[in-house]
Amino acid sequence: MFVRKKNNPIGVVSVQIIDKSGGKYKVLDIAKTITTVKIKLQESKETLSKTMLITPKHKSIAQIFKPNFWENS
């Protein structure tokens, strides 16, 4: 399993989780079930975010949510 990161022209980053089994590559739908909650604090204008990783499959890709993961991509 590996992660593919794509940048599009308007600055949005797309992430695909790819699995290679049986000699074929398959994009996994696991990323569609992950939810990130963002809230903006009214007084300080600070934005907080929390990504919900609930299932064992979610936890298997948890490394992509670490702050330093994308620095070398």
Query: For residue range 13-68, what is the model confidence (pLDDT) as tens digits?
Result: 777 788 888 888 888 777 677 778 889 999 999 998 888 888 888 887 787 777 77
Q: What are φ and ψ of residue 72, in 5° steps?
A: -100, 10
d(CA 50, CA 8): 24
Domain ranges of the chain: 2-68
In eight-state DSSP terms, residue 41 is -
What is the pLDDT at residue 60?
Answer: 79
